[in-house]
Amino acid sequence: MIEYSIEELKEYYNKYDECDVNDAANINYIEETVSDIIDDDYTHNNIYHIFPAFVCSFAATLLISGLIMAA
């Protein structure tokens, strides 16, 4: 689980006045890594793909059942 948000990381690193090029590169690397982890968690998580399919199939079943009962 990700413990720090990007804003918290920025606040943490903005406390220090002495910031060189390596620190800036490390901050950018951390921000991009955290962002990629969050994106991967949402796009590769199966529950986000299964739930809409389940809801659509349930709604279709109800619609078909209603049409059969009406006929």
- 62 domain-assigned: yes
Question: For residue 10, which amino acid is it?
Answer: K
Range of the domain at 38: 6-70
- 35 domain-assigned: yes
Q: Among 10, 47, 39, which Cα is nearest to 27's?
A: 10
pTM (predicted TM-score):
0.37
Each of the 71 residues of the chain gets a pLDDT tens digit; together they read 455 666 776 777 676 556 666 777 777 888 888 888 877 776 666 666 778 888 899 999 999 999 999 87
Q: What is the DSSP string of the chain?
A: -----HHHHHHHHHT-S---HHHHHHHHHHHHHHHHHHHHHHHS-THHHHHHHHHHHHHHHHHHHHHHHH-
Q: How many domains does the chain have?
A: 1
Predicted confidence (pLDDT) per residue in 17-31, tens digit: 566 667 777 778 888
- 1 domain-assigned: no
- 53 domain-assigned: yes
- 39 domain-assigned: yes
Distance CA 8, CA 34 (A): 12
